[in-house]
Structure formats: structure tokens, C-alpha cells
Structure 1
Amino acid sequence: MAQDNAVEDGAAGKSAKSGRLMMVAAVLLALLIGGGGVAAFFMFTGSDTAPAGGDTAAPVVKAKALYTKIRTLEGRPMFVVTLASDDGKRHFLQTYIEAKSRDQEVVDVLTLHMPLIVARLNALFSTQKFEQLQTMDGKIQLRTEALELLQGILQEKAGRPGVEALLFTNFVMQ
């Protein structure tokens, strides 16, 4: 009887192993067929066929973004201004700013006219109210006003706005 149980256990073990082997083989076969189908799809729908209009327009590639730190001639990378406040206390704003453009000529104009840019941004920042800048809407509005100011200077000096974004890389109020 013990020998009969051992024979049955051995047969069950072989059966379980072959069942696992069959399952692994089925999964691999399904992956192979699926991968082949995907490869065939991409091969037959590739870019070998011309568009219906016959035009072969090149894809639009944006130029690499160039970031210019807005800083004083002494190299101070930050703006520090005193903010107006309703509570009678003295509050300060410290911010670092970078201008994003995609043209080296714009970067050169920014560098050339940096004193003018710094002076006008300082004037803009020092007119802000502390309570307004505590909200996200206030910060977004300030960034929009600063971008418009910067684009106005570039329009005047270079004949085009040139800067697509103004980024506050640091914004601390106290």
C-alpha cells in the first residue's frame, strides 16, 4: 500500500510539473504572437507611405530653450524689495528670476540692457502689497506683469518680444 501511494504521488508530481510547463509555454506563445502582431502593425503603417496630399512636411522642431538669469551688473542674482503692507510692519520680498527664450540674439539683448531691466523690475516689485502676494493669484499676476514689462523692453530694443516666459526660481517673503 505504501508503494501504491508513492507511485501515485510521483505521478501527481510529474503531472503538476508538466502542467506548469504547459502554462509557461502557452504564455510565451501568446507574448510572441502579440509582439509579432504589434511589429507587423508598425511595419505596415510606417512612414513609408506618403500623405494623401502628396506633401511631405517636416515636423516642427522647437529650438532649445535658453534661460537668462536676470541680475545686476555686480552679479547679485536676486531682487530684494520692501513691500507695502496694511499691518504697519515692514515686509520684504526676495526673488530670483530667469527669462526663457529660444534665440541667442534675445539673450544678447537681455544682457546688454540688463541695468534697464533690473531697474524697471525693481520699481514693479516695490509697488506690490504684501497681502496680495500671499495668494497664488497675486503671484501669478505679478509674474504676468513682470513678463509684459520685460517683453515691452525687448519690443522697444530688439523689435520683438523674444521672451516666452518669466520664471521665479526663488520667491521668499518675510
Structure 2
Amino acid sequence: MEDLNEQKQSNKKTIIIIAVVVLLSIAAAVGGTLYFFGGVPGLSGDSKVQANVSSGPQIIPSNSIYYSMEPAFVINFNAGRKQRFMQVYVAVKAQTESAVSQVERHAPVIRNNLNQLFAKQDFESIQTPEGREEMRQAATQAVQDVLAKHGNGETIDQVLFTNLVMQ
């Protein structure tokens, strides 16, 4: 009978020891995870690194307003004996609502001038990044010219090509 009581006590001790070891293992895993990932303030040893991260470059929100000129411009080219096409989605970037409203107000004139500008381009030159950048700058200048002539002195920052497809 004593053997049976000793065996029961031994089993209880074994179960208690196993439970304590499991709980300690879980606590160590959670504590280690929090320590390495900085989950508990003050526990991480890299306070200098955290200070440098917080004093890094700050993101300054932009006040820019964008106006998308819909529908896209579609231009056809005669490149040698083949008929080629270009489709350009254009957006205008400005700093004020009044500049965007002027672009909307004079959209027919702006669309006309941009269509003429795009049609005058050489198909071979606009296949290069430099040629596309020159065309974008010329488009910006064309919109600014319309606003200078017909607008109330407002100006835009730039014309953006949000999608340009050539075939």
C-alpha cells in the first residue's frame, strides 16, 4: 500500500514539475519575443537606435491637387509605311483649387493644344525616356500658356502622364 501511495505522490510531483516547466517555457518565449520586437517600452536595449529612428526625416504632406483630363488622348502617327498609335492619360498637378478650376474651365482649349502638340511629335523620339520627358515638359508649357492667356494668373506645377501606351 505504501508503494501505491508513493507512486501516486511521485506521479503528482512529476505532473507538477512538467506543468511548471511548460509555463516557464511559455513565459520565456513571450518575454523574449516582446524584448526583441520592442513590445514592452523600456525593456529593449536599443534605446539609442529608437531615438535615431524617431528623429529621422519627417514626411511632409503635400498640398498638391490633381486633375485628371478624361478621356485619354489618342494620337495616330504615320511611321514609315505603318500606322502607329499613342494613348496618353494626362493629369495636371497644381497647388490651388483655383488653378484646377481654371484648367477645368479652359479644358477644350487645353485639349486642343495638347492634341496638336502630341500629333507633332516624332514617333521614334518619344520611344525614349528623354523624348517622353521633353514631350511632358512641352505639355506643361502648353497648359501654362493657355492659363496665362485665358486664365486669371493661376499656374500649374506640371503635367503628368499617368499612362502612356504606344503601338
Structure 1 position 145, deviation (Å): 0.5
Select the residue among 130, 143, 151 that pairs with 2:123.
130
Identity value in percent: 30
Are residues 171 and 35 of structure 1, via their aligned partners in 2, closer, same or farther at CA, if it must alter by over 3 Å? Answer: same
4+ aligned runs moved over 6 Å, structure 1: 31-34
Structure 2 SS opposite 1:90: strand
Cα distance in 1 for residues equivalent to 2:165 and 2:45: 58
Query: TM-score by structure 1 length?
Result: 0.61
- 2:63 counterpart residue number: 64
- 2:133 counterpart residue number: 140
Within-5 A mapping of 1:25-174: 35=47, 64-71=63-70, 77-85=71-79, 87-160=80-153, 162-174=155-167
Structure 2 SS opposite 1:115: helix
Structure 1 position 33, deviation (Å): 7.5
Are residues 79 and 35 of structure 1, via their aligned partners in 2, closer, same or farther at CA, if it must alter by over 3 Å? Answer: same
Structure 1 position 127, deviation (Å): 1.0
Cα distance in 2 for residues equivalent to 1:169 and 1:116: 21
Q: C-alpha deviations, 1:53-108, integer Å up to 9, x for none?
A: xxxxxxxx77621111123xxxxx200011242x2211011110000001000011
User: RMSD of aligned C-alpha atoms?
Assistant: 3.4
In structure 2, the gaps of 5 or more residues are 1-31, 36-42, 55-59
Cα distance in 1 for residues equivalent to 2:128 and 2:145: 26
- 2:20 counterpart residue number: none
In structure 1, the gaps of 5 or more residues are 1-23, 43-60, 72-76
Are residues 170 and 32 of structure 1, via their aligned partners in 2, closer, same or farther at CA, if it must alter by over 3 Å? Answer: closer
Q: C-alpha deviations, 1:118-166, integer Å up to 9, x for none?
A: 0110011111121111111110110011011111111122343521121
| Count, aligned residues | 128
Are residues 32 and 168 of structure 1, via their aligned partners in 2, closer, same or farther at CA, if it must alter by over 3 Å? Answer: closer
Cα distance in 1 for residues equivalent to 2:117 and 2:158: 17
- 1:16 counterpart residue number: none
